[in-house]
Chain A
Amino acid sequence: MENIDWYILIGTLLFIVLYGTFKSRGNQNVTDYLKGGNSARWWTIGLSVMATQASAITFLSTPGQAFHDGLGFVQFYFGLPIAMVVICLVFIPIYHRLNVFTAYEYLESRFDLKTRTLTAILFLIQRGLAAGITIFAPSIILSAVLGWNLIHLNIIIGILVIIYTVSGGTKAVSVTQKQQMLVIFAGMLFAFLMILNYLPLDISFDKALDIAGANGKLDVLDFSFDFENRYTFWSGIIGGTFLALSYFGTDQSQVQRYLSGKSLKEMQMGMIFNGLLKVPMQFFILLVGVMVFVFYQFNSSPLHFNPSVVKDVMASEYAQEYEALSSEKKTLELQLKEKQISYARLEDPASKQTLLSEITALNTQENTLRAQSKELIKKANPNAETNDKDYVFIHFILNNLPRGLIGLLLAVILSAAMSSTASELNALGSTTTIDLYKRNKSGRSEKHYVYASKWFTLLWGVIAIFVACFANLFDNLIQLVNIIGSLFYGNILGVFLLAFFFKYVKSRAVFIAALINQVLVIALYTMDKFEIINIPYLWLNFVGCVTAIVIAFLLQATSGNNDKIVEA
């Protein structure tokens, strides 16, 4: 990295932190601090919701996903617009009418305190862990490729977020997310244009797509019912809708974004904005990854994109074998480049078809070499992570982009990490204050609760940094956090859907059903782990929701009316 990259990176991040702190000073009461004074307009809400969902890993991992597997991942987002409509139609009007601070507060008015407390605690466990991973995930990648100290990076990201989130609350989160989204959009657009610029002169965008298509990277839709395939049209529409409903409708880190809206209409418009932009935005990020793939058809790429595991293998007894694979790949690359240029120039379909078969054969050989390199990495270090998709885009950025733009793209990655973490800490602080602390210690002054919120936000910030610093000790922790999310999300969504749509079901039935269902979902996951059944964990969102509703109905039907129950 050159000096100019450092200036741009540090300048951008410091500006965002100072701007957020300055713009949100002077919070007088809880509404100001936790709901931004209910002053947010629809575009602020929309950008804030998008910034919360788009973490650093979105910008590091998604292009890498497209590099390896093409555009199919976009199907994962197909359920999101449907969920946005349901949230605008049902969730937001109810939250708005009851003027709640948190989603879980509503559950007390509909059911009872214990249901509210249960869902709030499930949220705190799941989101508290996830906040640490939101910091850790980009830190581990940046430390591997740039040689930065992992612990220092975790602490720096955490402290920057804590400064403005604690001082300014929800308003600081929203105003900084607008700047962060601007940096993110600008950075990704520049990166895309630079890739096109780096392609050989006679390879236009049209021809680049032709090459990507010939290599099977442009298959958008998969209508198969293959349960093993995670990203199909059906898993996107069904699983994606339930996942997005849970995330945007019941996860406080998202609910808090639209609760800060000026009016019901502004809140709904913010979510519509998200529903309109999300699919094209993800498509664009994937397209950037596909263009990186095309770029590497004409330029040399490493056998494995993660430099830290390559270092391990080069220090082992397998170094010579790895070197041999690398030089074999270089020979293949030269042949591939020649054939790709010929393919792009050809007009005759028959000749193109012949050449295409040769290109496919070369790409298959290259994939075999990559697979062999992963085997060597595993032999050299059995604990090494061989999946390198998170490292593809950052490798491209650092090795190919011009001075200045590297700093901007690093600012994109760190901005995305900060924007997601800020929403998470803000929501964790709010839920702890409103659903646990204030609910049990009522009657204090507004100032007292604002201070309490600040202290709880700070505490969750410290916990997140702590989780990030120790995350490295566990294998596949990111996947573990996603699994924990899937274990809880379906159940929580089931409770909310019962509250919204099924007046027949009363509090006791819902509470017991939520407990039984949580055990059931965990049992299903365990059976899948031991290969007794086959249920990918993303489907637990859907299954957990349906079983929560069914169990609650059965319990209600067998227990009769339990209106006005007096507990001992």
Chain B
Amino acid sequence: MEEKDQNNIPEKTKFVWSHRYTLVLLFNAVYILFFYYLMKTYA
């Protein structure tokens, strides 16, 4: 059985950063800090 050509690696895909990804990370950082400080006021 012949294996496929190992140089035939999919390399056309472009990885494009989007502002949406920045927003996801930013929002989660804000959630975490918000939960942390809000709960800390009661803890």
Interface of A toward B, CB cutoff 8 Å? 71, 74, 78, 81-82, 84-85, 88-90, 93-94, 97-98, 108-110, 112, 209-210, 212-214, 216, 218-221, 268-269, 272, 275-276, 279-280, 283, 503, 506-507, 562-567
Contact = CB atoms under 8 A, between A and B. Distances in A.
B13 to A, nearest CB: 5
Contact of B21 (A71, A89, A110): A89
A275 B14 CA distance: 22
* SS of B interface (majority): loop
A566 B3 contact: yes
Contacts of B13: 93-94, 97
13 contacts: A82-B25, A88-B21, A89-B17, A109-B10, A110-B9, A209-B39, A219-B39, A268-B20, A272-B21, A503-B9, A503-B11, A563-B7, A564-B3
A440 to B, nearest CB: 12
Interface string B16-43: 1110110011011001100110011111
A343 B36 CA distance: 23
Given A89-B17, A218-B43, A94 B10 contact: yes
Interface of B: 1-18, 20-21, 24-25, 27-28, 31-32, 35-36, 39-43
Contact of B1 (A85, A564, A567): A567
B3 A71 contact: no
A212 B38 CA distance: 13
A84 B27 CA distance: 13
Most chain B CB neighbours (cut-off 10 Å) among A81, A112, A210, A272: A81
A336 B39 CA distance: 23
Contacts of A216: 43
B31 A563 contact: no
Contact of B39 (A82, A112, A220, A279): A220
Contact of B31 (A82, A85, A112, A279): A279
B35 A220 contact: yes
Nearest to A98: B10
Contacts of B35: 71, 74, 220, 283
A218 B41 CA distance: 10
